[in-house]
A and B are shown apart, each in its own frame.
Chain A
Amino acid sequence: MEYIKIDKQAYKIHFIKTDKFKKVKIRINFKEKTTKEKVVYRNMLSLVLLEATKKFNTRRLLDIECENLYNIGVGAGTSNSGNYHLLRFNTTFLNEKYTEKGMMEESFKFFLEFIFNPNVIDGKFESQTFNNAKNILKEDIESYADNPGRFAFSRIYEIMCPNSVIKYRSTGYIEDLEKVTEENLYEYYKELLTNNEIDIFIIGNIDVKQMEKIIADNFNIDSIKHEQLAHIVKQDDFRTEPRIIKENKNINQSILILGSKLKDITEFERKYVLVLYNYILGGSADSKLFKEVREKNSLCYSISSTHSGIANLEFISAGIDKENYDKAVELIKAEIKNMEDGNFTEEDINQAKITFLASLKEIEDTANGIINIYEAHEYLDYDLLEERAKEIEKVTKEDIINVSKKMYLDTIYLLEGDKKDA
């Protein structure tokens, strides 16, 4: 595997050349500082640009062309990345060895049409294209609460971080969507091409020179960008006693989330210690929480703990019967306390390390996994695979106890199921 990074000032290209895969995968990221209103614009672009291009001006014609190009996959999505918001475009197509000569170039160019050749007429997005995209997003926003897990997490973000950009729902909000028009979306689109930081990741058995030329011929962007903001969101307002918030929803199973804020975490802790902490506490079917709450007490089907390094937050979530709320909270708190008191063994730590090392090897088997590693390296300065393997070995029991003491339990949230008929 060979990694080549080319900084063109207006954009960066990351080539990862490997013969491991029969496909080529490309990801193009547009990144800028988040504001509430922009989330909607960026979601709209992720949909409207996939709806139609100038050349294939309906979704149907695009989908037919995708199938003709040996089922090339094209997608787009958005996500928060701490203080930033990412709009990602991605494509997967077969190496032309498995289709026909010339297909790599044709596929890549087709993918770029989505981004650079939108269905725009007279300085605005074509109405039908625009409306179809808007209908999708409207429905997505309106049905946000249909997925109880997603809804519960968005609520705890809103409760814990009322003044931070990370509380914004990934879809954006309906009042902002109402303000988006064919014209102002196109204005924003032009702004995005000029102002956003752009990273292009390409993995596969590729001809770097050929790919570079295709990019140079198609990327008519020359504005120079300077990174100014850190991705990581700092927390404040640390509570000594957690607040308890219960909300109702017409569902069978209640969702319990305990959210903590992390204070003064070091980079080493963020990248390595927290990973091991969570692995031991609630990262697998072998974890303390899983064994105690599910296996010993049969209180839930699912339970896990996770951290968001980028948001400085720690969560434990479980699906429970609301009658078991008190008992579940008590058991979970006892497990948190056990971590602080160092009631886990060197064996637990070694096991977590083995799992971490194995997951690094597994990442190497997937094209997406490898791109994720280089993306995190670029944005968050996370280490590459080899360094990660070395660094994780350095984590001690002391480190894990220390990090557990930097967690401030902030909110105990229960999305209470009040369905009677089940």
Chain B
Amino acid sequence: MHKKEIKNLELTVYSEKLDNGLEIYIVPKDNVNNTYATYTTRYGGIHNDFIPANEKEMVTVPKGIAHFLEHKMFEQENGEDVFSFFSERGSDANANTNPRKTTYLFSGPNAFYENLEFLLSYVETPYFTDENVEKEKGIIEQEIKMYQDKPYSRMYNGILYNLFHNYPMKYPTIGTIESVNSITKEDLYKCYNTFYHPSNMFLVITGNVDPEKVIELVKKHEAKRNLKENNKIVLKEYDEPRDVANASEIISMDVTVPKTAIAYKFYIKDINMRKDKVYSAILNTLDLKLGTTSLFCEKLRNEGLITGSIDITGINADDFVIAVIDAETKEPEKVIKLIKEELKHIEIEEHELERRKRTGISDLVLVSDNIFRINNMLVNNIIVKGEIEYDPIGSIRETTIKEVEEVLKNIDFKNYTIFTVIPDKG
């Protein structure tokens, strides 16, 4: 068992990698009642082209299968209801899938070790039948329809579709009604056997626990599976052009105020700097130039062009960083034009960067106060950076204005797509 401090946050990470490849990370916090456990596979909505376990050829599976699989993992051969197991012990259970990972989770103040053993067991025992696969399709169809009624969800999916040519983030994690309907039991087993191997998974536990006891329990449980550490899974590599697939789209929906967004596709592979630093530099700059502390935002509000704020969201997409800038406005074209002009010449000043650093550091302290947020931070670290960041405050502090300038010099604002949702007439 390794023990390492996350500097300046009063957190200690205990970790261990088992013989079968499973990684375990534990952050104990004894002044809370609750404990939160997440069991994650590095497998999500974008992993649809790969070489399956024990095979040699690359295959393509229907889109939306990682999320479908997540739903189906709750099915147990003995008919046991997973949710009942946890709620009988006063715990909450759930799962979620995003483009890069699928996570199974529970939290609760009671029966932690029993719950943990059950979490491991149910995620490690798939049970798919033609019948239970068929039944799930109706539920997921309703879930897809629910998202189709949400303007921001439509906007997000539309932007990603228009940004990419080949990169699989082009398609929503949930899939489409057609792709979901084509999923079979055999597809599910193929994906399960490939991506749910312990070498591709990790456990993160935060809260009121004893690290030694956790590791002992997991070791004992995993030993029974008799699995050896696997080689890395071969995923298809995508040749993604730097330009966007489609420069603009307008849809109409049952909304009152139009919503508009401009999404930039920044190619960052050639910038000689840690990817997360590049990402932060871009997002911090956009926030300073367009966010609520900017003169630009103040001007738009005073002119009545926007009422709230301009929101900025970043997405990591391997060789690219995507920045989505969106606003609600009655004059979408004008607002987009002004944003584009504003971003033609950008510079940031030392004191502005200092202010962003202060904000970043205080956010980290708040994260360290909450077992759910600590857990999410670690899972994110592992998925996005491949490892845990043990000095996140230091990393913020050491950022210099030179680094930010270096990033700004090397990104190109030419590649973007515009997406607008306008009210429908009916």
A-side residues, CB < 8 A to B, are 19-23, 58-60, 63-64, 67-68, 70-71, 92, 94, 98-99, 128, 131-132, 135-136, 138-139, 142-143, 145-146, 148, 249-253, 284-286, 291, 294, 298-302, 319-321, 351, 354-355, 357-359, 361-362, 364-366, 417, 422
Write out the residue numbers on chain B whose beta carbons fall within 8 Å of the beta carbon of A301.
Answer: 139-140, 142-143, 146
CB–CB B358/A252 < 8 A: no
CB–CB A23/B295 < 8 A: no
CB–CB B89/A354 < 8 A: yes
Write out the residue numbers on chain B whose beta carbons fall within 8 Å of the beta carbon of A142.
Answer: 256-257
B359 close to A (CB within 8 Å): yes
Q: List 11 A-B contacts (CB under 8 A).
A: A60-B292, A67-B359, A136-B308, A139-B256, A139-B257, A146-B256, A285-B83, A300-B142, A354-B87, A355-B87, A422-B145
Give the residue name and chain of the B residue nearest to A354 (CB): B90
B254 close to A (CB within 8 Å): yes
CB–CB A23/B366 < 8 A: yes
- State in angstroms the CA–CA spacing of A23 and B368 once bound together: 11
Give the residue name and chain of the A residue nearest to B356 (CB): A67
- State in angstroms the CA–CA spacing of A94 and B356 once bound together: 16
CB–CB B109/A361 < 8 A: yes
Nearest Cβ on chain B to A276's Cβ, whole angstroms: 13
CB–CB A67/B87 < 8 A: no
CB–CB B138/A20 < 8 A: no
CB–CB A351/B87 < 8 A: yes
Indicate whether A135 sits within 8 Å of B151 (C-beta atoms), given known contacts A146-B256, A362-B34: no
- State in angstroms the CA–CA spacing of A277 and B142 once bound together: 27
The B287-310 residues at the A interface (CB cut-off 8 A) are 291-295, 297-298, 301-302, 304, 307-308
- State in angstroms the CA–CA spacing of A387 and B143 once bound together: 40
Write out the residue numbers on chain A whose beta carbons fall within 8 Å of the beta carbon of B363.
Answer: 71
Closest 3 A-B residue pairs measured CB to CB? A358-B90, A298-B138, A361-B109
- State in angstroms the CA–CA spacing of A411 and B148 once bound together: 27
CB–CB A68/B149 < 8 A: no
Write out the residue numbers on chain A whose beta carbons fall within 8 Å of the beta carbon of B328.
Answer: 139
Write out the residue numbers on chain A whose beta carbons fall within 8 Å of the beta carbon of B255.
Answer: 143, 146
Nearest Cβ on chain A to B369's Cβ, whole angstroms: 5
CB–CB B33/A361 < 8 A: yes
Interface of A is mostly: mixed
Contact of A422 among B90, B148, B295 (CB under 8 A): B148
Write out the residue numbers on chain A whose beta carbons fall within 8 Å of the beta carbon of B368.
Answer: 22
Write out the residue numbers on chain B whose beta carbons fall within 8 Å of the beta carbon of A321.
Answer: 142, 145
Nearest Cβ on chain B to A282's Cβ, whole angstroms: 13
Indicate with 1 or 0, residue by residue over B86-105, a CB within 8 angstroms of chain A CB atoms: 01111101000000000000
B345 close to A (CB within 8 Å): no
Contact of A365 among B33, B140, B362 (CB under 8 A): B33
Indicate whether A23 sits within 8 Å of B149 (C-beta atoms), given known contacts A298-B135, A320-B142: no
Nearest Cβ on chain B to A31's Cβ, whole angstroms: 27
CB–CB B139/A298 < 8 A: yes
CB–CB A98/B149 < 8 A: no
Write out the residue numbers on chain B whose beta carbons fall within 8 Å of the beta carbon of A136.
Answer: 307-308
- State in angstroms the CA–CA spacing of A320 and B88 once bound together: 28
Write out the residue numbers on chain A whose beta carbons fall within 8 Å of the beta carbon of B34.
Answer: 361-362, 365
B355 close to A (CB within 8 Å): yes
The B263-291 residues at the A interface (CB cut-off 8 A) are 291
Write out the residue numbers on chain A whose beta carbons fall within 8 Å of the beta carbon of B216.
Answer: none
B426 close to A (CB within 8 Å): yes
Nearest Cβ on chain B to A379's Cβ, whole angstroms: 25
Write out the residue numbers on chain A whose beta carbons fall within 8 Å of the beta carbon of B151.
Answer: 146
- State in angstroms the CA–CA spacing of A286 and B90 once bound together: 12
Indicate whether A60 sits within 8 Å of B295 (C-beta atoms), given known contacts A146-B151, A301-B146, A354-B89: yes
CB–CB B304/A355 < 8 A: no
CB–CB A351/B88 < 8 A: yes
Nearest Cβ on chain B to A258's Cβ, whole angstroms: 18
Taking each of A142, A251, A321, which has the highest tally of chain B beta carbons within 10 Å of its own beta carbon?
Answer: A251
Write out the residue numbers on chain A whose beta carbons fall within 8 Å of the beta carbon of B370.
Answer: 366
CB–CB A252/B83 < 8 A: no
Indicate whether A358 sits within 8 Å of B301 (C-beta atoms), given known contacts A70-B358, A319-B146: no
CB–CB A252/B365 < 8 A: no
Give the residue name and chain of the B residue nearest to A417 (CB): B149
- State in angstroms the CA–CA spacing of A59 and B310 once bound together: 14
The B316-359 residues at the A interface (CB cut-off 8 A) are 328, 355-356, 358-359
Indicate whether A251 sits within 8 Å of B359 (C-beta atoms), given known contacts A60-B295, A94-B366: no
B158 close to A (CB within 8 Å): no
Nearest Cβ on chain A to B113's Cβ, whole angstroms: 16
